Amino acid sequence: MSGEISRDQSQGLQPLGVRDEAPDITTSSSLLTLPAPGIHITGMNSALKRPPSVTAEAKTLLSAAGFVPSWRPSWGKVRTFGLTFPAGIELIPVAPQVPPTDEELSALKPVQPEKPKEETPEGGEGAKKRTKIKPPQDALSVQDRLFFLLQPPLENWLKGQELIMPFEPFQYQYEGIAWLFAQKAALLADEMGLGKTMQLITALRLLLRAGQVRRVLLVCPKPLIPNWQREFKTWAEEIPVTTVEGDGFRRNLTWRMPGAHVLLANYEVVVRDYQAMIQEAIKNGHNMKDGLGRRTEVECQTFIDGELSSSSPGLAQPEAPCPLPQFDLVVLDEAQRTKNRDSLTARTIRSIPRGRSVCLTGTPIENRPEEMSSLFEFMGVIPPGANPDLRQLTQLSREFILRRTKDLVMKDMPPRLDRDAIIELSTAQRIAYDAAEKEGVMKLNAMGDELSIQNVFELVLRLKQISNFDPHTQESSKLERLQADMEEIAASGGKAILFSQWTKTIDWLAERMQPYGCLVYHGGVPTAKREPILTKFKEDPDSHIILMSYGTGAVGLNLQFAGYVFLFDRWWNPAVEDQAINRAHRIGCKSQVIVSKFICKDTIEERIDRVLNEKREIFRSVLGEGDNTNASLSMSANEIFGLFSMKARTPKGSKSIRPAAPVKEAA
């Protein structure tokens, strides 16, 4: 079959989407000539002979495609999260005026600009270690954690022109600074001589600049005030430090002086002034809480002498602004001074309103691990009055105590060589000693049940004094040994530090040590004269020995230029002895430090030394197995009685009888 399709019909083949106006349609008819099919015509198919009738009609096209995909480039709103950082205190940098001393220069690496070409062979960046500030464990919110994570690495921060560092810190010091920066409660317990002071001061600089603290109180023993002033001048000259001193009126002004970023005060001043302010506040009807805002019954009872009417914890009182001077941070240097949590010092210190609490001590445990409870209470990590057991203390130590020993971090530090100088008593000393011991023991035995630990203690002291020198003949084997050693030391231009328990012994020795340019530094020396003495010892080439008491000279002094230490007599606690020795054996010492411990043979000194050494081996502090310098080694009453083969008469045989504190010197 063939046919023609009109042009109009072909419009239906237009491409999709082409929709034009309605066309004019015309129709026409034409005859079709169809060939007759070769089919036999029957009645059934006669219709095939009829020509087909073809007609055309108009049909409208589709007005739109059935599906047209469309898309507009729209995106959902991008959600954001952010934080702004607090503005820090702008302090004007002070250019160093005094060039560092040779000792300091030789001891510490000066800050060097980072070498620009420190790439690895692969073309990567230099692998110089960076100390990042890590968020503390108690920082739970994202904002808090980001605050720490987004701080620059300490090496970059301290290298900047904002913070002039006289010397580059050691790596462990960077880590200590970062830790102090992040912790709200911290006990930095590095072994003596590792630079706790510098770490604390540098952390303060960063905290002030980061706007984390604006007002800081630093409490230290009185003899260390000049030391802290000097250290601030060395490490952070741009930070103004105000010492709380003078009469009551002046001190009161100082406590409340606005704009003082760092206040420096000794323990006695803090206790005296805060007690006065607390009493005044209670009279005015204030509810007293501890310095962290926790109400404690003990505090209230103490402050008002038993009258609980105005400050009883159970009474609802309208809240009023705290009348005591407040601080963002309180630092306790030699924090072991507050180890007795019921002492007036500890209670008063805890009452200081503060946001952060930091303790510094090289000997967090002098006698018993429980002593740390007082420090933890100050730090606010245990509730008031809580008594954590040893396991809990160990757990708290891991989180809130940072302690490094020289063995761990100063592998390249010159060694400390300890030698026990076993000395025979002179004839006169031996006679005097034996007589005193025989007479003393007889008296003790005769006392029967009246015998007290004090009686035994007095005998021990008397025998130790005779071991130093015979008071009648002035003979002293120790002196002879000391003179022999000093001849060598002076001849080689060396310097030595001698420690004794007694100022009387020190004065006696001073007369005999004059040929060696002897200087004396103990509690009897006025505070104003102490710094010049230390300066002379350091700078005068003819001054070869300085005589110090454990109480005054054992803490906080930097005498790393001395290569020799003599322990003329022994303190009751090796932790205190270690503090004394570390005046010389600390960062910056150029050569080995030789420590001579004078022990008279067959005397009470030998027996005491044996007991203490045995205890050192047995006792392990909660601070870790590797810490061999922090053992609790004060002698118990039983051990003191045992020195004379006697037994303690008191049922409390474990009571410690050592002197209350090394700062209280024997006459």
Partner 1 sequence: MALAAPKAQLGFLGVVNLAGTGFVGGLLVTNQLGRPLEFQCTTPVKPNRTQEILYGPTLTSFVCAELIGKTLFERLQVKPQLIVSDHSEMLALRSVISLPVCLVLPKSSVAAEGTIRAGAHQLRWHADFPDDLALVTEIAKSFPGDADLIEPLERVREALQETLRAGAAA
The nearer residue to partner 1, 162 or 434, going by C-beta atoms, is 162
Tokens describing residue 90: 């702008």
Are the C-beta atoms of 288 and 278 separated by less than 8 Å? yes
Provide the 8-state DSSP code for 247. S
Taking the complex as a whole, how short is the minimal distance between the CB of residue 214 and partner 1, in angstroms? 16
When binding is defined by CB under 8 A, the residue of 12, 116, 259, 541 that contacts partner 1 is: 116
When binding is defined by CB under 8 A, the residue of 107, 136, 157, 254 that contacts partner 1 is: 157
330, β-bridge pairs = 217, 357
Residue 431 phi/psi, 5-degree rounding, is -60, -45
Taking the complex as a whole, how short is the minimal distance between the CB of residue 85 and partner 1, in angstroms? 5
When binding is defined by CB under 8 A, the residue of 48, 61, 142, 447 that contacts partner 1 is: 142
Please report which residue ranges of 314-353 form alpha helices under DSSP H: 344-350
Side chain identity at 213, as an amino acid letter? V
Residue 453 phi/psi, 5-degree rounding, is -65, -30
Element housing 357 (H / E): strand 354-360
Taking the complex as a whole, how short is the minimal distance between the CB of residue 238 and partner 1, in angstroms? 14
When binding is defined by CB under 8 A, the residue of 162, 245, 606, 609 that contacts partner 1 is: 162
Judged by CB under 8 A, the chain residues 72 through 91 that form the site for partner 1 are: 73, 75, 78-85, 88
List, in order, residues 6 or more apart from 218 with CB less than 8 Å away: 228, 262, 263, 264, 265, 330, 331, 333
Provide the 8-state DSSP code for 335. G
When binding is defined by CB under 8 A, the residue of 10, 28, 161, 492 that contacts partner 1 is: 161
156 binds partner 1 (CB under 8 A): yes
List, in order, residues 6 or more apart from 412 with CB less than 8 Å away: none
Taking the complex as a whole, how short is the minimal distance between the CB of residue 120 and partner 1, in angstroms? 9
Side chain identity at 618, as an amino acid letter? I
When binding is defined by CB under 8 A, the residue of 10, 52, 71, 528 that contacts partner 1 is: 71
Residue 135 phi/psi, 5-degree rounding, is -65, 140
Residue range at the interface with partner 1 (CB under 8 A); choices 146-154, 328-336, 418-426, 604-612: 146-154
Are the C-beta atoms of 593 and 410 separated by less than 8 Å? no
C-alpha pair distances (Å), 180 with each of 93, 196, 212, 659: 22, 11, 12, 33
The nearer residue to partner 1, 155 or 639, going by C-beta atoms, is 155
318 binds partner 1 (CB under 8 A): no
The nearer residue to partner 1, 139 or 646, going by C-beta atoms, is 139
Are the C-beta atoms of 597 and 418 separated by less than 8 Å? yes
Residue range at the interface with partner 1 (CB under 8 A); choices 154-162, 282-290, 361-369, 413-421: 154-162
Taking the complex as a whole, how short is the minimal distance between the CB of residue 565 and partner 1, in angstroms? 41
User: CA torsion, points 308, 310, 311, 317, in degrees to nearest 10?
Assistant: 140
Residue range at the interface with partner 1 (CB under 8 A); choices 9-17, 32-40, 140-148, 328-336: 140-148
Taking the complex as a whole, how short is the minimal distance between the CB of residue 236 and partner 1, in angstroms? 16
93 binds partner 1 (CB under 8 A): no
Are the C-beta atoms of 208 and 236 separated by less than 8 Å? no
Q: Which residues bind partner 1 (CB under 8 A)?
A: 71, 73, 75, 78-85, 88, 113-116, 119, 123-126, 130, 142, 145-146, 149-153, 156-157, 159-162, 209-210
